[in-house]
Structures are given as C-alpha cells and as structure tokens.
C-alpha cells in the first residue's frame, strides 16, 4: 500500500511542471547573487584603499 501511494505521488510530481519555472528563477537569482558577491569581494580592497586615500587627503 505504501509503495503504491509513493508511486502515485512521485508520478504526479514528475508530471507537474508548475514548479519548474519558479526553480529556474530561483537558480537565476542565486547565480546573480553569487556574481555580485564575487564582484564586491574582488573590488572591495580597491574601493577601500581609494576611499582611505581620499579621506586622508581631506
């Protein structure tokens, strides 16, 4: 009995495509967030030194 219920649930999940678009958008948002974090990390020290230099000249 448990196997038949599990089989029905899995087959219904595989046929349902509504969540696929949400998953794709979620992955896209995740990739953009990772790219933003990498860009900020890479440019962080350069920006910090630029602002420190500007602050010391004031």
Alpha-carbon distance of 51 to 27, in angstroms, equals: 34
Alpha-carbon distance of 6 to 8, in angstroms, equals: 5
> Structural domain boundaries of the chain?
20-58
Alpha-carbon distance of 26 to 21, in angstroms, equals: 9
- Summarised one tens digit per residue, pLDDT across range 3-53 is 788 788 777 766 666 667 778 888 999 999 999 999 988 888 888 888 888
Residue reference for tokens 């219920």: 5
> What pLDDT is attached to residue 9?
73
Alpha-carbon distance of 39 to 42, in angstroms, equals: 5
């Amino acid at each position: 009995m448990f196997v038949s219920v599990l089989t029905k649930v899995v087959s219904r999940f595989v046929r349902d495509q509504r969540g696929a678009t949400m998953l794709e958008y979620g992955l896209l948002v995740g990739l953009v967030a990772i790219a933003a974090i990498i860009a900020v990390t890479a440019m962080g020290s350069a920006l910090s030194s630029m602002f420190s230099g500007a602050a010391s000249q004031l």
